[in-house]
């Protein structure tokens, strides 16, 4: 995709001009194409790649991509790296002693405590023998599929600001999310579904709420759409009770007729044509979105693979299975949240008061579904063209909080990336002896964002949008590719 | 190193070094920002020879005659860590100069003060001064036009001349039905009623349109529409955003102030002064104080602000960025960390402006006479004095039980933690000390349940006494959220702020702090000092800054501070900025605002980037017209309503939007030259307003606290923090969109899907996207479906059962026009078909009509200004 230079076109035209959308297409031919949109459900027209005159038509990346879609598995609240993917024997060795040699220890709440050993044991998994804690036996079993990064770091130790960092690349509220940038850059493969879908924990929204999937200064069309994993996935998807489908169809037909008469006075207007088309797309979406979320179509074996047969793993299992179905249907960017900002310290990963209780519960919820997702993507041949990322907003402290918990630590965190042709089984970077700071090949969120865009075929320095006097970028003036994942 | 440089190097070093010529510039550029008069990091100052030799907490810095032993040299060469300067490196030649100077005995001349670094880095050139936006608007006589159609006013002359120059053929004038609808939607955001439309269509007098414009400008709905445009620029919302997303309980007063200002046709220069510095004007009235809400309605973290001094610099950046974009069309924020890359705005300009704002503090101005405020304060403090001793008693009574509750809680902890707490303080290991400090801070809240009955009764009695006294507290006075000058370091603790030792604004502890948060008349007031910040880092202080404005524009004869003459204590810096902005000789101000007015009449400004008149913005499509409008604006006494009249009474404004063939579209694709009126979609707020208008359910109640439109539970659930009041559909929430609660953390979905801008930064122009979810909203949203039904009932009542009459009535209400014969036929056919489809329903006729009404409010013709 070429860089979109604001001064040469108005913003309202951006969506259409970028990537051969509707701009300049004669209305007559457009309307005849629209007739193709009449029957949405039969014959698999909900499937990916259905070529239609798109409002968000698929656009060419800068170079050949490794992946077409992204699934982000975001653990809100802050997963402790030193109890999951980054074993630190010294924590047990020096348990109860002050952490020294790091200067002033900055904690989020109250006062710093002494070093606290992990309550968990670690085991070697996979061909490379990567150590993973007993919290994640299932994720351990797929460790050869993922590249584990043990040297992530951010800036803020505040949940919300750290969510902004990892999901928008800025500490400040209101910047476009990664998914919005991806949607802006690549458009959608499937006009019957939103390009960017968010499924949050049934217990409630994550820290930072809608700002995680906000479009900021990018066009509203690039915003994440929240799906519920069951029932009607999209807001206002279906007519309220009392309006029959035939009644709606009749309204739509009459609307199209009157709108076309009106448009005849504005020959060649791309915007009016697009609005006419948007009604037919909405109509298709009414059929295709419920179809996409209908997990009953999946076999019992698949249900079991994702843990839908167990009430503990069922909620996140449904989210993961839905993600796979959306990838199959060409949805570009999917973000799943585990954890909700509902009950403090309980519903998300924010283990201030009791690490073992908190992480034990959340780990059980996600472990099996995530391994199921990776296996399923692989067996269906989708893993190569899908980037899967497991992450959180920061790691946690090697020192204790009030004896049993851990406070926030933006200085170090573990996350992993899989699929998209990434070589699995590798471990990238390292933290210090206690896991307090990333020391070897530290990886910032800007680096991760640059890497995500790269794997999708986009140069993070060339994907820009003119706003408030500047060509804005997801990575601002930062971002280095993670070489082990991009070369 | 190239040979030539080596040679030069050798020659330079052959002579004795001169402190002033060779050494001073190095120290000024690299060192004294942190180690000088303004601040002495690590207790080290390079301002005088004695202090430079003595060094700071890390020991001697310079050993005269021995550069190898001097810490200064060891640090700049990286031998000693941390190396200096932080984040940079001296050149080999600079290091050699310093070495030689020390070896020569480190001779010294005078006192070293920091040189303002950026003054030397960004010189203003003739090309800068000649940039169109910095040249004063020049009055040019409108071009002579022979075509009588284009002789209406100067606007037409400029537009038509350009069309001729480009060989573009303008379309015909719009028909009257289109014009009346356009004028209503444009000025009030509401479609005309059928009666209003026909009254205009039937008024054949030549002044019909002029009168219409005057009528609409007098309507209170005008301010609701145009005030909303300004609220986009002011990045207005009703909550603070970020994690807590606290409600701003008085933000609505600023919103109403903006609407009122437009309705009153407040001179724009006054509007500027009130918003920038209303509190510093002579004898400010309530509106002037409320106007300062402009500085408050942006996003704020609102939590643990005192623990995080960097937030204040984020807010200052927001003030500088919003003020300069909104009023001057300049992107000054770009100069926070370095000189502006494209425009002649230096980092010094930025920090001069920061010094203007630096003394500001958040302040809720009481909107009541002074005597009433005094009475309120005295009543309140009297009651507080009676409550305080009762609270002491409560604490005494609770103390043993709180201790007991803690003991019980402690018993649930693992043995090693209990041991840490129970070990006497002096015997605890270092680790136990940390643990004990943490665990002792736990305060379980179940102490009441542990109390003996008589103590519990005593506690309850005390608490009820306290409650009784609290009930007697006088009703809070109305206040406007605004700003005034004061001392931010004395801000009261906010939510989450911790008084724990070692927290707070330590970086200022070496400076003189005032006695009170806001100055008291008769007592001295020292405004907190503002500093140049290297690379925008609030910890990297450079020299102290004095207030000033943009050098490229000059001082325009306005001093740096204008204190009010009525004895109130304030720096007057923002007042000076306001006078400088609102000066008729400022080349930017009038142009920026007339361009915004033009933008909202035509969908885009003569300068398309209406908040950026710099080099990255667009150049004006009609520079002479822009200047003419700017000068006319000033000449009229900065009257916005005058500018509406000038623009709307032009032939240009009254052109049709329709055109005959696609070739017209091709010839002026973006309609920059206005050969036709640019059709444009309504904003989300106006779409909802228009739906309510045609359904007959619009509640026109103006102003007051925001209402919460009903939002689906699943949407509310996505919001982690902050409120969204749950309401039913009904007249209370069927008010105009501008009055609905604008929550930063969760937009109202219908507005959001129609491109409501992000309120965290100033918005010059909304984007217009076209996506299927907009169609879903207008097709399926319960509010829309319900209003369509009310619309149908209304039509039924007015037109009766006869279908042709129904169609005519529905068209008049929804589209302000008569249906064509073909439309009549096709709509009647539709009604008949739907009637048959609904034959089982109780009222098939009404059902069919509801279907039609639903279609009408989905029409492009309904959603666009044509």
pLDDT digits (tens, 9 = 90+) for B712-737: 887 887 675 667 888 999 999 999 99
- Nearest-Cα distance to chain B for A369, in Å, is 23
Choose the mutation target among B300, B412, B430, B431 for the interface with A, i.e. most A CBs under 10 Å.
Answer: B431
Locate the chain A residue with the closest alpha carbon to B763. Answer: A468
B681–A271: do the CB atoms touch at under 8 Å? yes
B243–A243: do the CB atoms touch at under 8 Å? no
Residues 3-22 of A with CB under 8 A from B: 6-7, 9-15
Per the structure block, which two tokens stand in for A170? Answer: 């800025």
What confidence score (pLDDT) does residue A38 get? Answer: 28
Greater model confidence, B151 or B118:
B151
Residues 163-192 of A with CB under 8 A from B: 172-174
pLDDT of B10 over the 50 cut = no
What confidence score (pLDDT) does residue B720 get? Answer: 54
Q: Are A63 and A459 in contact (CB under 8 A)?
A: yes
- Nearest-Cα distance to chain B for A393, in Å, is 14
Q: For residue B753, which residues of chain A lie inside 8 Å, CB to CB? A: 220
Instruction: Measure the CA–CA gap between B218 and B200, rounded to whole angstroms.
Output: 16
pLDDT of B572 over the 50 cut = yes
Per the structure block, which two tokens stand in for A329? Answer: 């249907």
Q: How many CB pairs under 8 A join A and B?
A: 277
pLDDT of A125 over the 80 cut = yes
Residues 406-465 of A with CB under 8 A from B: none
Q: What is the mean pLDDT of residues B454-460?
A: 95
Instruction: Return the number of other C-beta atoms located less than 10 Å from residue B108's C-beta.
Output: 19
pLDDT band, very low/low/confident/very high, at A357 (cuts 50, 70, 90): very high
Q: Are A469 and B617 in contact (CB under 8 A)?
A: yes
Q: What is the mean pLDDT of residues B346-371?
A: 96
Q: For residue B823, which residues of chain A lie inside 8 Å, CB to CB? A: 258, 261
Burial class (CB in 10 A: 0-12, 13-18, 19+), A422: buried
Mean pLDDT of chain A: 86
Residues 230-269 of A with CB under 8 A from B: 234-240, 243, 246-248, 250-252, 254-255, 257-259, 261-263, 265-269
User: pLDDT tens for residues B605-660?
Assistant: 999 999 999 998 889 999 999 999 999 999 999 999 999 999 999 999 999 999 88
Mean pLDDT of chain B: 90
> How close are the terminal C-alpha atoms of chain B, in Å?
68
B768–A12: do the CB atoms touch at under 8 Å? yes
Parallel, antiparallel, or unpaired: how do β-strands A69-75 and A386-392 relate? parallel
A221, A223, A238: residue with CB nearest B780: A238
Among A401-405, B83-87, B798-802, the minimum mean pLDDT is found in B83-87
Characterise B735 by phi-psi region: left (phi > 0), alpha (psi -120 to 50), beta (else). Answer: beta
Q: Are A373 and A324 in contact (CB under 8 A)?
A: yes
User: pLDDT tens for residues B146-185?
Assistant: 899 998 899 999 999 999 999 999 999 999 999 999 999 9
A172, A268, A401: residue with CB nearest B662: A268
What confidence score (pLDDT) does residue B13 get? Answer: 42
Which residues on adjacent β-strands are paired with residue A419?
A: A387
Q: Are A194 and B773 in contact (CB under 8 A)?
A: yes
**Reported pTM:** 0.83
pLDDT of A67 over the 50 cut = yes
Encode B832-843 in three state secondary structure.
HHHHHHCCCCCC
pLDDT band, very low/low/confident/very high, at B27 (cuts 50, 70, 90): confident
Which residues on adjacent β-strands are paired with residue A72?
A: A335, A389
Greater model confidence, A65 or B30:
A65
pLDDT of A45 over the 70 cut = no
Parallel, antiparallel, or unpaired: how do β-strands A470-473 and A225-226 relate? unpaired
What letters, b where the CB count within 10 A reaches 16 and e where it falls short, cover B354-388? bbbbbbbbbbbbbbeeeeeeeebeeeeeebeeebe
What letters, b where the CB count within 10 A reaches 16 and e where it falls short, cover B477-503? bebbbbbbbbbbbebeebeebeeeeee
Question: For the complex shown, is ipTM > 0.90?
Answer: no
pLDDT of A485 over the 50 cut = yes
pLDDT band, very low/low/confident/very high, at B498 (cuts 50, 70, 90): low
Q: For residue B611, which residues of chain A lie inside 8 Å, CB to CB? A: 468-469
Per the structure block, which two tokens stand in for B345? Answer: 């705005």
% of chain A beyond a pLDDT of 70: 88
Instruction: Measure the CA–CA gap between B219 and B496, rounded to whole angstroms.
Output: 46
pLDDT of B589 over the 70 cut = yes
Chain B interface includes A205 (CB < 8 A): yes
A45 DSSP 8-state letter: T
- Nearest-Cα distance to chain A for B303, in Å, is 11
What is the radius of gyration, based on Cα positions, of chain B? 34
B837–A15: do the CB atoms touch at under 8 Å? no
What confidence score (pLDDT) does residue B39 get? Answer: 64
Q: What is the mean pLDDT of residues A245-273?
A: 91
- Nearest-Cα distance to chain B for A16, in Å, is 9
Greater model confidence, B193 or B669:
B193
What is the radius of gyration, based on Cα positions, of chain A? 23
Q: What is the mean pLDDT of residues A299-323?
A: 97
Task: Give me the residue label for tokens 């008469």.
Answer: A261
Residues 291-350 of A with CB under 8 A from B: 340-341
What confidence score (pLDDT) does residue A110 get? Answer: 79
User: pLDDT tens for residues B31-40?
Assistant: 877 777 666 7
Helix (H, G, I), strand (E, B) or coil at A485: helix
B660, B661, B720: residue with CB nearest A341: B720
Q: Are B763 and B757 in contact (CB under 8 A)?
A: yes
What confidence score (pLDDT) does residue B503 get? Answer: 39
Q: For residue A50, which residues of chain B lie inside 8 Å, CB to CB? A: none
Strands (E), B150-211: none
What confidence score (pLDDT) does residue B8 get? Answer: 36
Greater model confidence, A78 or B665:
A78
What confidence score (pLDDT) does residue B3 get? Answer: 36
Q: What is the mean pLDDT of residues B249-266?
A: 98
Instruction: Return the number of other C-beta atoms located less than 10 Å from residue A318's C-beta.
Output: 23
pLDDT band, very low/low/confident/very high, at B118 (cuts 50, 70, 90): very low
Burial class (CB in 10 A: 0-12, 13-18, 19+), B678: middle
Helix (H, G, I), strand (E, B) or coil at A119: coil
């Amino acid at each position: 995709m070429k860089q979109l230079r604001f001064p040469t076109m108005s913003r309202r035209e951006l969506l259409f001009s970028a990537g051969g959308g509707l701009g300049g297409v004669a209305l007559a031919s457009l309307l005849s194409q629209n007739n193709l949109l009449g029957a949405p459900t039969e014959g698999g027209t909900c499937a990916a790649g259905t070529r239609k005159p798109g409002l968000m038509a698929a656009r060419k990346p800068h170079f050949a991509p490794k992946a077409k879609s992204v699934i982000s598995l975001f653990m809100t609240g802050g997963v402790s790296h030193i109890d999951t993917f980054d074993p630190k024997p010294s924590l047990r060795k020096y348990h109860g002693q002050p952490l020294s040699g790091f200067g002033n220890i900055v904690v989020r709440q109250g006062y710093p405590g002494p070093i606290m050993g992990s309550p968990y044991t670690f085991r070697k998994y996979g061909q490379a023998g990567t150590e993973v804690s007993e919290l994640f036996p299932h994720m351990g079993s797929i460790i050869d599929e993922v590249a584990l990064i043990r040297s992530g770091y951010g800036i803020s130790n505040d949940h919300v600001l750290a969510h902004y960092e990892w999901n928008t690349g800025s500490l400040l509220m209101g910047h476009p999310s990664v998914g919005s940038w991806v949607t802006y850059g690549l458009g959608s493969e499937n006009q019957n579904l939103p390009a960017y879908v968010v499924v949050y924990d049934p217990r409630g929204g994550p820290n930072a709420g809608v700002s995680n999937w906000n479009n900021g200064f990018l066009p509203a069309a690039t915003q994440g759409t929240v799906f519920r994993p069951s029932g009607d996935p999209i807001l206002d998807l279906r007519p309220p009770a009392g309006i029959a489908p035939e009644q709606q169809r009749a309204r739509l037909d009459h609307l199209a007729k009157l709108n076309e008469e009106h448009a005849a006075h504005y020959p060649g207007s791309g915007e009016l044509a697009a609005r006419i088309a948007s009604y037919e797309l909405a109509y298709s979406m009414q059929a295709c979105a419920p179809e996409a979320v209908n997990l009953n179509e999946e076999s019992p074996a698949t249900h079991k693979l994702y843990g839908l047969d167990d009430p503990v793993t069922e909620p996140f299992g449904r989210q993961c299975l839905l993600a796979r179905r959306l990838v199959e249907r060409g949805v570009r960017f999917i973000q799943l949240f585990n954890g909700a900002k509902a009950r403090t310290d309980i519903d998300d990963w924010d283990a201030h008061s009791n690490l073992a209780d908190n992480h034990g519960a959340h780990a059980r919820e996600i472990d099996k579904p995530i391994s199921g997702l990776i296996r399923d993507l692989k067996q269906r041949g989708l893993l190569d063209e899908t980037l899967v990322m497991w992450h959180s907003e920061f790691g946690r402290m090697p020192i204790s909080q009030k004896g049993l918990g851990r406070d926030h630590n933006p200085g170090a965190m573990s996350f992993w990336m899989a699929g998209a042709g990434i070589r699995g089984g590798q471990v990238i970077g390292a933290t210090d002896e206690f896991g307090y700071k990333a020391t070897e090949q530290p990886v910032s969120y800007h680096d991760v964002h640059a890497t995500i865009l790269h794997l999708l075929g986009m140069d993070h320095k060339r994907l820009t949008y003119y706003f408030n006097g500047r060509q804005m970028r997801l990575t601002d003036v930062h971002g280095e590719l993670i070489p082990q994942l991009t070369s | 190193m190239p040979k030539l440089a080596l040679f030069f190097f050798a020659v330079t070093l052959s002579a004795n070094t001169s402190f002033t010529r060779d050494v001073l510039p190095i120290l000024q550029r690299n060192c004294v920002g942190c180690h000088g008069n303004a601040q002495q990091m690590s207790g080290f100052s390079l301002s005088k020879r004695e202090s430079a030799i003595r060094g700071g907490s890390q020991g001697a810095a310079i050993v005269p005659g021995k550069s190898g032993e001097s810490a200064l040299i060891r640090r700049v060469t990286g031998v000693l860590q941390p190396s200096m300067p932080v984040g940079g490196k001296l050149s080999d030649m600079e290091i050699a100069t310093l070495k030689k100077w020390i070896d020569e005995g480190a001779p010294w001349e005078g006192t070293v003060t920091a040189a303002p670094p950026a003054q030397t880095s960004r010189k203003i050139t003739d090309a800068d001064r000649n940039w169109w936006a910095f040249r004063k608007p020049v009055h040019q006589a409108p071009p002579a036009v022979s075509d009588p159609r284009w002789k209406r006013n100067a606007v037409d002359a400029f537009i038509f001349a350009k069309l001729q120059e480009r060989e573009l053929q303008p379309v015909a004038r719009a028909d009257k039905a289109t014009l009346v609808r356009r004028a209503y939607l444009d000025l009030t955001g509401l479609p005309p009623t059928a009666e209003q439309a026909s009254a205009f269509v039937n008024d054949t007098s030549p002044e019909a349109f002029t009168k219409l414009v005057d009528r609409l400008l007098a309507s209170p709905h005008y301010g609701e529409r145009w005030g909303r445009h300004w609220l986009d620029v002011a990045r207005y919302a009703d909550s603070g955003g970020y994690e807590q997303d606290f409600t701003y309980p008085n933000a609505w007063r600023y919103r109403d102030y903006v609407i009122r200002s437009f309705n009153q046709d407040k001179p724009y220069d006054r509007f500027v002064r009130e918003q920038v510095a209303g509190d510093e004007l002579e004898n400010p009235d309530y509106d002037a104080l409320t106007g300062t809400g402009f500085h408050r309605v942006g996003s704020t973290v609102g939590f643990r602000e005192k623990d995080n001094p960097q937030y204040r610099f984020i807010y200052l950046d927001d003030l500088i960025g919003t003020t300069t974009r909104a009023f001057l069309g300049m992107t000054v924020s770009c100069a926070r960390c370095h000189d502006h890359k494209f425009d002649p705005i230096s980092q010094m300009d930025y920090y001069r402006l920061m010094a203007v704002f630096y003394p500001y503090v958040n302040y809720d101005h009481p909107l009541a006479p002074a005597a009433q405020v005094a009475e309120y304060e005295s009543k309140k403090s009297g009651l507080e004095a009676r409550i305080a001793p009762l609270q002491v008693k409560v604490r005494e009574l609770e103390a043993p039980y709180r201790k007991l509750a803690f003991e019980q809680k402690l018993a649930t902890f693992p043995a090693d933690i209990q041991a840490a707490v129970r070990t006497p303080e002096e015997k605890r290991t270092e680790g136990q000390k940390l643990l004990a400090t943490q665990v002792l801070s736990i305060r379980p809240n179940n102490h009441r349940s542990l109390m003996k009955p008589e103590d519990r009764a005593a506690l309850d009695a005390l608490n009820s006494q306290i409650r009784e006294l609290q009930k007697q507290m006088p009703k809070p006075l109305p206040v406007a959220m605004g700003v005034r000058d004061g001392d931010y370091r004395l801000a009261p603790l906010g939510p989450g702020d911790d008084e724990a030792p070692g927290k707070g604004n330590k970086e200022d502890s070496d400076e003189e702090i005032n006695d009170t948060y806001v100055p008291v008349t008769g007592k001295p007031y020292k405004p907190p000092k503002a500093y140049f910040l290297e690379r925008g880092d609030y910890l990297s202080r450079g020299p102290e800054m004095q207030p000033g404005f943009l050098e490229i524009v000059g001082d325009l004869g306005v001093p740096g501070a204008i204190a009010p003459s009525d004895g109130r204590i304030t720096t007057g810096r923002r007042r000076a900025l306001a006078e400088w902005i609102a000066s008729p000789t400022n080349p930017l101000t009038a142009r920026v605002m007339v361009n915004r007015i033009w933008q909202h009449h035509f969908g885009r400004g003569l300068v398309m980037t209406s908040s950026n008149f710099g080099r990255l913005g667009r150049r004006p499509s009609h520079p002479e017209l822009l200047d003419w409008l700017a000068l006319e604006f000033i000449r009229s006494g900065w009257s916005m309503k005058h500018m509406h009249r000038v623009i709307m009474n032009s032939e240009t404004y009254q052109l049709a939007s329709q055109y005959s063939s696609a070739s017209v579209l091709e010839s002026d694709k973006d309609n920059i030259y206005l050969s036709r009126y640019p059709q444009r979609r309504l904003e989300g707020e106006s779409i909802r307003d228009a739906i309510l208008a045609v359904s007959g359910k619009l509640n026109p109640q103006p102003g007051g606290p925001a209402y919460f439109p009903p939002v689906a539970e699943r949407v509310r659930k996505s919001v982690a923090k902050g409120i969204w009041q749950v309401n039913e559909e009904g007249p209370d929430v069927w008010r105009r969109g501008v009055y609905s609660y604008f929550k930063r953390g969760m937009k109202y979905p219908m507005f959001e899907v129609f491109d409501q801008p992000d309120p965290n930064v100033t918005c010059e122009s909304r984007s217009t996207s076209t996506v299927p979810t907009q169609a879903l909203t207008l097709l399926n949203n319960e509010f829309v479906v319900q209003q369509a039904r009310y619309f149908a009932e209304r039509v039924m009542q007015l037109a009766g059962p006869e279908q042709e009459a129904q169609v005519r009535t529905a068209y008049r209400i929804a589209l302000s026009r008569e249906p064509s014969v073909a439309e009549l036929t096709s709509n009647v056919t539709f009604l008949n078909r739907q009637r048959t489809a609904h034959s089982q329903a109780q009222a098939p006729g009404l059902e069919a009509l509801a279907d039609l009404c639903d279609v009408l409010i989905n029409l492009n013709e309904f959603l666009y200004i044509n």
